Every structure is written in structure tokens, then in C-alpha cells.
Amino acid sequence: MPTDPYIPARPDARPRQQQNLPPGVAPPPGARWRAERPGDLRGPLGESGPLGGTPGPSVGYAYALAERARDRFSLGPHEHDADAVAVVAEIAAKRAAAFGRAPVMPDVELAAALLGYDGSALPAFTDARSRLVSDAAHSYRRRRSLVDEVPAELLHLPAADVRARAAQWRSALAERVAATA
């Protein structure tokens, strides 16, 4: 089978570094990169503020991981699993992005535990959660506003500390939901 002329036939025939430079000449150092294009994020975390999100590497993978954990979620009577998956994935992505890495299954498990989808939520919070998460799979605003309720400081803690403080965060969130209802 013929081979294209620009592909070396043997691995040892590949070009070496600085192949075409004369002796004693080195390539110049790379120029400093700056966010100048229209789509570039400015600042350390891009846009900040409500509903902005947290940019990170491969945050969409959190949805695939949350789909895998879907069968283990303990849902309330009026909750849909698609809404739970969407919110859990977004919180897991927020936690992973806070550490500057892609989401992993422990992030999804921690997000599910934080929202009580692991079965640890009291009935009062389950009712409040069903109002908060209702239609979250189809509403960016609803989903992001719930994710923004999770403090970044809480997500930076080790998993055991987050689980220990989850009940306190849930009760505070349930009180805010009850006050607005």
C-alpha cells in the first residue's frame, strides 16, 4: 500500500527538534498569551456573578457520570430523575472546576449527598427540594440558581466535611424556600 510522501517510513526517520535551524540558533521563547479574542474568558475564572457558572475542563462529563448514578438517587414523590441528574451534574461540575480538574464519580456522589438524593434528606427538605428542582432539566435559570446556592467554600472542603455540613446547609436552604413560598 502506498504511503504519503510526508509520512516517514521508519519511526527513527522523524524530524528532530530544531531540525531546520542553523547551528547556534535557538527558537525564540513563546510570547505571553492574553485574552484578546471575543470568546476568551477574562480574569482567573471568567465571568462572575449570578447564573454565570464555573468554567472548568470537561465539565460536561459530569452529566455522563450523573446518568450512571441515576438509579441510586432517592427521589421524592413529585420529583423527576431528569431534573435530579441535571442539578447533581451541575453541582459536581462546579466542585470539579473549583479544583481545576474534570469531574469524577466522587464529585457526583458528593453532590447527590449534598442534595439528599442518597436518602439522607429529611421529609421537610425533600419537599423544598422538589420545588427547587422542579423543571431544572429544562430551565437553565432554575438549575443555575440552585447551583449558585451552594457556597464555594463548602465545595472546597473534603468529602467527609461536606457530608457533615450537608444537613446544616439543607436546613438553611429549606428555610429560604419556605420564606419565599
Indicate the angle between helix axes 159-180 and 105-114, nearest 10 degrees.
40
Percent with pLDDT over 90 in the chain: 31
pLDDT tens, residue by residue, 124-140: 888 888 888 999 999 99
Task: At 16, give phi and psi (nearest 5°).
Answer: -90, 165
Tally Cβ neighbours within 10 Å of residue 38: 5
d(CA 153, CA 95): 10
pLDDT tens, residue by residue, 81-130: 999 999 999 999 999 988 888 999 999 999 999 999 998 888 888 888 88
Q: How far apart are the first and last CA of the chain?
A: 72
pLDDT at 45 over 90: no
- Environment class of 103 (CB within 10 Å of its CB; exposed 0-12, middle 13-18, buried 19+): buried
Instruction: Provide the residue ranges of all domains of the chain, joining segments of one domain with +.
Output: 61-180
| Residue the block writes with cell 442534595 | 115
DSSP 42-89: PSSSSS-STT-----TTTTHHHHHHHHHGGG----TT--HHHHHHHHH
pLDDT tens, residue by residue, 24-42: 877 777 667 676 777 766 6
Mean pLDDT over 4-33 rounds to 66
d(CA 116, CA 67): 17
What's the count of helices (H) and strands (E) in the chain, helices before strands?
Answer: 7, 0
Helix (H) or strand (E) holding 30: none
Average pLDDT, the chain: 82
Per the confidence metrics, is the pTM higher than 0.85? Answer: no
pLDDT at 46 over 50: no
d(CA 59, CA 147): 14
